[in-house]
Amino acid sequence: MTASPSSSPDVSPEVSREVSREVSRDLTPDASAGPSHALHSPVIAWFEQHARDLPWRRPEAGPWGVMVSEFMLQQTPVSRVLPVYEQWLARWPRPADLAAEAPGEAVRAWGRLGYPRRALRLHGAAAAITERHGGDVPREHAQLLALPGVGEYTAAAVASFAYGQRHAVLDTNVRRVFARAATGVEYPPNATTAAERRLARELLPGDEATAARWAAASMELGALVCTAKSPDCARCPVAGLCAWRLAGKPAHDGPPRRGQTYAGTDRQVRGKLLAVLREAVGPVPQAVLDTVWNEPVQRARALDGLVSDGLVEPLDGGLYRLPQTRPGA
């Protein structure tokens, strides 16, 4: 995909087109030579020097540790994930260890990471790995994608980070780096597009080892340097190639970016209800749950949603608990 910087009052269309052509010459793969362009070496070299020492990047983490980290890191910062990750792997060092316990224990251990359905999905994936693959996280992308709760991103990330395979790994950080460096816009679209996937494939190095390193390096660059609110272009190893910077950093002119409102939402109420159930040693009466939120209609809606999502089990007598059986089991 050729770069297409956004229009800006400070940059004429002719200049923008010229910037686009210059960046495109660096980024468009040469079919005769295989995918190779100017971004790879500086980004990977920067990563080798500045990558954070994270436990899921260490060899001892193994594929299971990588998979656990990918579930936890979705929409959750590293600082919040680290303590829960360490406790999780200490308790469940293998998929079979997690699969042997009730799904409610996964929800309990998930704590306050947020989006607790991820805990149920990870438990379901662990059960499937145990039943279908002898307890070993599969290597094949198609087999990973067939696991419950594993989507395109997670399958590509595990295949790349755990097994060193060649896959385009597109998370929010990578999408932002590519949007700025290659496409010349400040932010990517709200949802991943076919054009972004095509660009990611075009930017993917040809050999597996370099492709896997590139996936991790471009993600780290977005997390540490090319951040959403305060990009540090002075520290960026590809600032001289960045289409957005060369075009004068045109302001975002697309749809409004989605916020992360929490206070007063059903999400907050769900979190409060789950907090009571996580701390309880047995089933919790409805009357206790009624004390966590004053608005009865919203509280009932949140509780019904938790039951519908399989995060809470209703019992006779107006009692509730974390789930003890796997959905469909």
Residues 278 and 307: their CA atoms lie apart, in Å, by 15
Residues 6+ apart with CB under 8 A from 32: none
**With contact defined as beta carbons under 8 Å apart, do 38 and 21 qualify?**
no
DSSP 8-class letter at 11: B
- Residue 70 among the catalytic residues: yes
DSSP 8-class letter at 231: -
Residue 26's alpha-carbon distances to 1, 2, 210, in angstroms, are 11, 10, 18
Helix (H) or strand (E) holding 271: helix 266-279
Residues 164 and 236: their CA atoms lie apart, in Å, by 25
Query: Phi and psi of 33, rounded to 5°?
Result: -105, -10
Supply 130's token pair.
Answer: 């145990």
Three-class SS of residue 228? Answer: coil
Residues 329 and 322: their CA atoms lie apart, in Å, by 16
DSSP 136-205: S---SHHHHHTSTT--HHHHHHHHHHHH--------HHHHHHHIIIII--SS--SS--HHHHHHHHHTS-
Torsional class of 156: left (φ above 0), alpha (ψ -120 to 50), beta (otherwise): alpha
131-157 residues labelled b (16+ CB within 10 A) or e (exposed): eebeeebbeebebbbebbbbebbbbbb
Q: Which of 70, 105, 196, 313 is catalytic?
A: 70
Task: Please list the active-site residues.
Answer: 70
